[in-house]
Chain A
């Protein structure tokens, strides 16, 4: 469906199982993500989608299985290490700094790339000032890319929800991630906002070549923009393939429509 040139597998999830006490959130899940791919994870409520993302992201540690990123395998990893490896994410329930401006929020995404120490930054002189200028320039490119110039200096809490989601995406982009995990980027949006967001996701994928793993409820959007889809239900993988394959999968149909 596109001409981006999808590459080799860069993220490989094998036999992941995750339980919270007696509750099995994920059972023996395996799938892979190829470079430059737009990969979606779908499933009904409570299917384990966000848990899956949290495992990749290092927020949860699965009891079994392994995740390998660019050939490096890890089963215990904290979120900082994951971020340093080039995996960024956005959140289903926005986790922005409401009182800070759009610029400052996106700037926090550059935090890992900053070399100067706290003292230098506090004095804001020499290398620290130069560094901030560079990062600011990068942030401005994101502001331009996401078309939020008019809101640069607005506190995020005052923006409408759809724009806050865009700022959240902007902050993740500021990390220059190789893989971007998006947790329901379109939840709670109206049709127009969803269209905008879809376009930005496709543009990120296209312009920056970023690999994207996306969780989404809106089937229409997922089918339109994804290259391949994993379907989860009650912590089990019930389908995996292109949108057409998934659409034809009888297990997926029954999980979504409840018919047998």
Chain B
């Protein structure tokens, strides 16, 4: 039954008013907001926004972490038929200018001083941005900007407005239709200006419900909302599905406390991009390295067993009685406590998506008894396209199309999707919309892949990133940079990798070491270093990275399609790739083109004969100042392997 988000919220409030809707940790204690209290809050906020002049179809920008009052504000805007536009809270001020001007935003809600300062900075360049509200008043006592008020003031004015116009809220709410625009999400965009992806209540709710049905989600789930609300995945998991199912969404205290809060809440339904799982595994491994010998032995024994039988148990395959018994013992002594430490004791369904996940990483979590699965989707498809069924999770596929989804693979390998959850279009950008939406309703994902055994979809790379090698020993061979980068990144020592090779005679790569993991490794070996740049240039570190690269090369050589993508030469970058320097997107994907332009000197050195290259790079520090980092980088040759011999 199609509905709208605010109407679903009111249904929950009517059916079970005292149940928890949202929790937030305030001053160290989890505070619960019931559905009934939420309904009152939304009503007051909506009336306040209406009194301030928010019209149907107007846009309301919301910037901040996951906060109950910001969620309520989005519901309030939707109740009035206005469109909430969540923006990434870690973006720089200038990055907000395009969305705000593009969507003619006049009203914005910011979480705190940090976010508000960024908006105030834009006021001269976004003159239509007249009204601003903030949730957390700290540090804002002396702000006297025109049009600036606290959410408390907005709520008060809403209460007064509601009293003066008693039927207003209900009339506005009733006027909302499922096919009205519900929200707009700006895609981070690896190239060019961001695009506003327009979704209706129907598209988001249809996919939210399809996903919920696939995993049999109930209103008893607990979810921790810790990813940026501007990302559609976060919106689906802790907004659309929250309202569709009526479960509890928990807001952590701050970005630093997420791990502690995760443990306290013990979510049952969890989503994290692969890098979070990677970070968790790295921290476990570092802590195990520091553990006593006996504990390390126990851990290694148990993990060896888990690797052997864990995945089979997860997939519901036959395992011998002895192994079952051993696994149960392992569960008592190692896997259970480990799950608890990670905060995954109660996880029933965990998903990862956004980037390819390393097979060992994926297997690690499944083998210790966490039902980790992959899904496939994008902002434009309202996330859910393919999901992995509980017993069919694999590292190298992304699952089967779920209810309502049709998939076809085009000539060049590009995947096309048709589902009820497709975007309505890009905001004020019919050309871009026409590029991705065909006349007969198919959406071009831009991903290259194919349907593998069992109907599972397998993604190799972005369709436009798949290149060819020209000249050299692998002339004409396929070059899948992301595939190679992902393989490299699976080593805990390597944080990011950027592979080059399209239209060249061989593949080369930039490597970013993981400061924490390599730092710990260096300390264990009494290797002194004076910060990131110094550590990255140390000979033993280069040797360590070379071993990783060669392992990947040996692995790539096994697959004759990808043997040409072996890394011949590489260098370890002197600084961490950073979104603030335009090297990563806000979702931390490498911007290969931008990096190649910025470090042209280094790319040329990789393809030249030099054994080292001096480089100086401008960097933006977290406080907004800028400076430079310089270093002389060694260029290292890695061993490559002949492809597997095949009988002619």
Q: What is the 8 Å Cβ interface bit string for chain A, positions 134-157, against chain B (1 contact, 0 not)?
A: 001100110111010110100000
B28: which A residues are within 8 A, CB to CB? 136, 140, 143, 149, 152
Interface residues in B253-276 (C-beta closer than 8 Å to A): 253-254, 256-257, 260
Contact B256 A3 (CB under 8 A): no
B146: which A residues are within 8 A, CB to CB? none
A-B pairs with the 8 shortest C-beta distances? A150-B256, A140-B27, A150-B257, A140-B28, A149-B253, A149-B257, A149-B254, A144-B27
* A141-B27, A195-B623 as given contacts; A150 in contact with B260, CB under 8 Å: yes
A245: which B residues are within 8 A, CB to CB? none
- Interface residues of B, Cβ cutoff 8 Å to A: 27-29, 138-139, 141-142, 253-254, 256-257, 260, 622-623
B29: which A residues are within 8 A, CB to CB? 140
B27: which A residues are within 8 A, CB to CB? 137, 140-141, 143-144
A144: which B residues are within 8 A, CB to CB? 27
* Bound CA span A26–B260, Å: 49
Give me 11 other A-B pairs in contact (C-beta within 8 A), A207-B138, A207-B141 excluded: A3-B142, A136-B28, A137-B27, A140-B27, A140-B29, A143-B27, A143-B28, A149-B253, A150-B257, A192-B622, A207-B139
* Bound CA span A141–B29, Å: 12
- Interface residues of A, Cβ cutoff 8 Å to B: 3, 136-137, 140-141, 143-145, 147, 149-150, 152, 192, 195, 203, 206-207
* Bound CA span A213–B253, Å: 32
Which of A143, A145, A150, A203: most chain B Cβ within 10 A? A150
* Bound CA span A175–B515, Å: 40
Contact B254 A147 (CB under 8 A): yes
B254: which A residues are within 8 A, CB to CB? 147, 149-150
Which of B27, B141, B257: most chain A Cβ within 10 A? B27
* A141-B27, A144-B27, A203-B139 as given contacts; A149 in contact with B256, CB under 8 Å: yes
Chain B, Cβ-Cβ closest to A138:
B27
Instruction: Describe A's contact surface by its main secondary structure.
Output: helix
CB distance from A170 to the nearest CB of B (A): 14
A140: which B residues are within 8 A, CB to CB? 27-29
B256: which A residues are within 8 A, CB to CB? 149-150
CB distance from A39 to the nearest CB of B (A): 21
CB distance from A221 to the nearest CB of B (A): 15
A141: which B residues are within 8 A, CB to CB? 27
CB distance from A51 to the nearest CB of B (A): 35
A149: which B residues are within 8 A, CB to CB? 28, 253-254, 256-257
Chain A, Cβ-Cβ closest to B27:
A140
Chain B, Cβ-Cβ closest to A144:
B27
Chain A, Cβ-Cβ closest to B254:
A149
* Bound CA span A152–B256, Å: 12
B142: which A residues are within 8 A, CB to CB? 3
* Bound CA span A67–B430, Å: 76
* Bound CA span A192–B622, Å: 10
CB distance from A132 to the nearest CB of B (A): 13
Chain B, Cβ-Cβ closest to A3:
B142
A136: which B residues are within 8 A, CB to CB? 28
CB distance from B30 to the nearest CB of A (A): 13
CB distance from B605 to the nearest CB of A (A): 32
CB distance from B53 to the nearest CB of A (A): 32
CB distance from B139 to the nearest CB of A (A): 7
26 example contacts (A-B, Cβ-Cβ < 8 A) are as follows A136-B28, A137-B27, A140-B27, A140-B28, A140-B29, A141-B27, A143-B27, A143-B28, A144-B27, A145-B138, A149-B28, A149-B253, A149-B254, A149-B256, A149-B257, A150-B254, A150-B256, A150-B257, A152-B28, A192-B623, A195-B623, A203-B139, A206-B141, A207-B138, A207-B139, A207-B141
Chain B, Cβ-Cβ closest to A145:
B138
B253: which A residues are within 8 A, CB to CB? 149
* Bound CA span A207–B138, Å: 9
Chain A, Cβ-Cβ closest to B142:
A3
* Bound CA span A255–B170, Å: 74
CB distance from A47 to the nearest CB of B (A): 32
* Bound CA span A168–B386, Å: 52
* Bound CA span A144–B139, Å: 13
* Bound CA span A152–B253, Å: 12
* Bound CA span A231–B560, Å: 75
CB distance from B31 to the nearest CB of A (A): 12
CB distance from B331 to the nearest CB of A (A): 27
CB distance from B65 to the nearest CB of A (A): 13
* Bound CA span A9–B212, Å: 66
Chain B, Cβ-Cβ closest to A154:
B260
* Bound CA span A147–B622, Å: 17
CB distance from B626 to the nearest CB of A (A): 14
Chain B, Cβ-Cβ closest to A199:
B139
A192: which B residues are within 8 A, CB to CB? 622-623
Which of A143, A144, A149: most chain B Cβ within 10 A? A149
A203: which B residues are within 8 A, CB to CB? 139
